A and B are shown apart, each in its own frame.
Chain A
């Protein structure tokens, strides 16, 4: 059983020399070489509510101080629409249309929820998954 994530960042013209980064991570349990064993699967949700700080992932649902990984993508195709992502009280950033993120998730307590704030109430499609111990 294994879960891997490969990131590739490319640009021919961001810097004087072409940029090319590729890195593969294998999702293991905290402090071990044993693979993560559980997942929420890939959730596809359409948001029609632009309220601030809607709970996406509860900070205590998948264990504490472990090596969970979270994937979130904004599947909107409108470049002006975004999804604000917050970790607990800390504003992280905005996923604009087509943007995605992968982060490790400590989940130390309920104050560590992942909250989202869609910029519009007109059907914003979101994809997310948690891989955990």
Chain B
């Protein structure tokens, strides 16, 4: 049984009282203390079109307590990728629901039950490099 930990450290001086928050979780299977034991590895994909496509296909994963990490590895403050949940443009049907934009250097980490695809739309057709990993 593998042991995987994910930690976040958030620091902010927006308000007068500084926020310093650290949270560490051990990634386990749904409703269990058994560790998640499968991974895509840290994948890297380069996008060169402003096209709405799948980044992670739900068909490749089982429902469960999966965790997803996605990072826009670029450095541009104006170029971004939009991450959404649902059908991509070619799939048709109900359009994917946008979660948000990852600008250069931004990352996201979230639980994913594997029920719908995770899609991506780059803002520019010049190379956008995205790192991502699913731990399931």
Residues of chain A touching chain B, judged by Cβ–Cβ distance below 8 Å, are 1-15, 19, 21, 23, 25-28, 30-33, 35-39, 41-42, 67-69, 71, 73, 79-80, 82, 85, 87-96, 98-108, 111-112, 129, 131
Given known A93-B113, A104-B102, contact A31–B78 (CB-CB < 8 A): yes
Q: List 24 A-B contacts (CB under 8 A).
A: A3-B10, A3-B19, A5-B10, A7-B6, A8-B7, A8-B8, A9-B133, A11-B3, A14-B39, A14-B135, A19-B39, A23-B107, A30-B80, A31-B78, A31-B80, A39-B12, A79-B28, A79-B32, A89-B97, A92-B85, A94-B30, A94-B65, A102-B108, A106-B82
CB distance from B133 to the nearest CB of A (A): 8
What count of chain B residues pass the 8 Å CB interface test? 64
CB distance from A69 to the nearest CB of B (A): 8
A21 touching B111 by the CB < 8 A rule? no
B81-117 CB contacts (< 8 Å) to partner A: 82-86, 94, 96-103, 105-113, 115-116
Residues of chain B touching chain A, judged by Cβ–Cβ distance below 8 Å, are 2-15, 19, 21, 23, 25-26, 28, 30-33, 36-37, 39, 41-42, 65-67, 69, 71, 77-78, 80, 82-86, 94, 96-103, 105-113, 115-116, 133, 135
